């Protein structure tokens, strides 16, 4: 079985290399380019780093400097080097899924099939081959989860800090991680009374939130590493590092390629002098945070399910929702597949609905971007349909999941 997995890893790697080579041909001879536009941004930033300059001298570079540093060999070896890094991380994601599913108590055959859901998935194959860095992010998140469920708290905290440094969204896992590290033994004073006692309930809840050894280790380790990285790059590059790497992604209001139900709001305010008012920005975040916190509190005892649902509802309710964000939860989906007891026909219907809703959105988006038609309302309506489909998928998964609580 181990050799079998090595063969699958090799095959998946070869498929991605072939896609990368095809991309070179398409970039050379076709008008529509294969390589992700962000990859050129990464490479340009790496050139500035190689020259001893700031990567933020490249307009629209809004990532950690570590990414530009890692891609500096692009300057000497060619543009393919960075893609090889992302492809390698893509394979590592599949291997991490395999390890995680085995640790969760499933056999190697099941773990292999779950890993293949990622390794042979056209979406991550295309994304990594085009030069998108999401595979690095997926690897950091999955390693955090793997070490967490293995009880290796310090290692998990280290990967968690790296994940947040790379992109800020993993902060949504902070609450379920903290609750999970409380363990099954709660420091609740005495047994619960026979009749409802609000004072006892409040005391028990507060007691369950008190720090313990694992919680302190996780918080201090992750805070130290994240603080060290942030301080180092702030001293080196200044305020622009903080803004472009973190703050921009909180305040951004893109309307291009946006599946969000808030698309029309962003469109109507995009040309105004003040943009989206502050109170509206806060209101937009409120439903998202309520959903994430509710999921975290309800399902924290099953971390893979909790992380998947937190990520899914976070992306679903985000004010900016682009297709690359889907990889954030697609990478977690194989980890929970063995415990979703759903009929094949139901699963296929949900999958078709998910793709169909995207197709419904893509038609007016194409007419707007390439034909110049005013389809903003249709795009917004399609985004609302996609939101409803996603909400239905969440409900079906929760209903049919074998919860280990």
Average pLDDT over residues 381-404: 91
Which of these ranges, 14-28, 142-156, 244-258, 370-384, has the smallest mean pLDDT?
Answer: 244-258
Task: Kindly tell me if the per-residue pLDDT of 228 is higher than 70.
Answer: yes
CB 103 within 8 A of CB 149: yes
Residue 70 CB coordination number (10 Å)? 18
| pLDDT interval class at 276 (50, 70, 90) | low
Average pLDDT over residues 73-90: 93
Given this model, what pLDDT does residue 347 score? 92
| pLDDT interval class at 193 (50, 70, 90) | very low
Residue closest to 319 by CA, chosen among 254, 246, 230, 231: 254
Averaged pLDDT of the chain: 88
The pLDDT tens digits of the residues spanning 115-168 come to 999 999 999 999 999 999 999 999 999 999 999 999 999 999 999 999 999 999
Backbone angles phi, psi at 340, to 5 degrees: -90, 105
The pLDDT tens digits of the residues spanning 15-59 come to 999 999 999 999 888 887 889 889 999 999 999 999 999 999 998
Given this model, what pLDDT does residue 323 score? 84
Helical H segments across 73-152, by residue range: 74-77, 80-103, 108-119, 122-129, 134-149
- Which residue ranges make up each domain of the chain? 134-186+204-251, 253-405
Backbone angles phi, psi at 35, to 5 degrees: -65, 135
Given this model, what pLDDT does residue 392 score? 96
Given this model, what pLDDT does residue 274 score? 58
Average pLDDT over residues 298-324: 93
Q: Which residues contact 263 (CB under 8 A, 6 or more apart)?
A: 255, 379, 380, 383
């Amino acid at each position: 079985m181990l050799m079998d997995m090595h063969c699958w890893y090799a095959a998946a790697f070869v498929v991605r290399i072939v896609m990368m080579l095809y991309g070179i041909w398409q970039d050379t001879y076709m008008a529509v380019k294969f390589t992700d536009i962000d990859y050129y941004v990464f490479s340009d930033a790496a050139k500035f780093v190689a020259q001893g300059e700031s990567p933020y001298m490249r307009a629209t570079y809004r990532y950690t400097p570590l990414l530009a540093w890692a891609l500096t060999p692009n300057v000497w070896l060619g543009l393919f080097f960075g893609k090889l890094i992302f492809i390698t991380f893509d394979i590592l994601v599949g291997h991490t899924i395999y390890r995680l599913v085995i640790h969760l108590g499933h056999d190697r055959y099941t773990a292999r099939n779950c890993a293949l859901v990622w390794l042979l998935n056209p979406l991550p194959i295309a994304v990594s081959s085009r030069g998108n860095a999401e595979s690095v992010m997926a690897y950091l998140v999955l390693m955090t989860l793997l070490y967490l469920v293995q009880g290796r708290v310090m290692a998990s905290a280290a990967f968690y800090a790296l994940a947040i440094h790379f992109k800020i969204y993993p902060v949504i896992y902070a609450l379920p991680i903290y609750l999970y590290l409380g363990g099954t033994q709660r420091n609740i004073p005495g047994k619960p009374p026979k009749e409802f006692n609000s004072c006892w309930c409040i005391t028990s809840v507060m007691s369950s939130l008190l720090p313990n050894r694992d919680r302190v280790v996780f918080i201090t380790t992750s805070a130290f590493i994240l603080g060290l990285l942030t301080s180092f790059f702030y001293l080196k590059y200044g305020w622009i590092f903080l803004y472009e790497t973190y703050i921009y992604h909180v305040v951004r209001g893109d309307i291009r390629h946006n599946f969000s139900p808030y698309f029309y709001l962003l469109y109507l305010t995009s040309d105004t002098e003040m943009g989206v008012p502050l109170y509206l920005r806060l209101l937009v975040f409120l439903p998202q945070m309520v959903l994430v916190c509710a999921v975290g509190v309800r399902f924290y005892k099953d971390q893979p399910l909790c992380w998947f649902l937190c990520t899914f509802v976070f992306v679903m309710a985000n004010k900016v929702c682009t297709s690359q964000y889907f990889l954030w939860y697609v990478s977690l989906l194989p980890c929970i597949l063995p415990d979703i007891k759903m009929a094949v026909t139901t699963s296929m219907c949900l999958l078709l609905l998910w793709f169909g809703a995207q197709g419904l959105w893509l038609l007016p988006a194409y007419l707007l971007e390439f034909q110049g038609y005013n389809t903003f309302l249709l795009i917004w309506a399609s985004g609302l349909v996609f939101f409803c489909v996603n909400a239905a998928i969440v409900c079906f998964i929760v209903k049919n999941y074998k919860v280990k609580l």
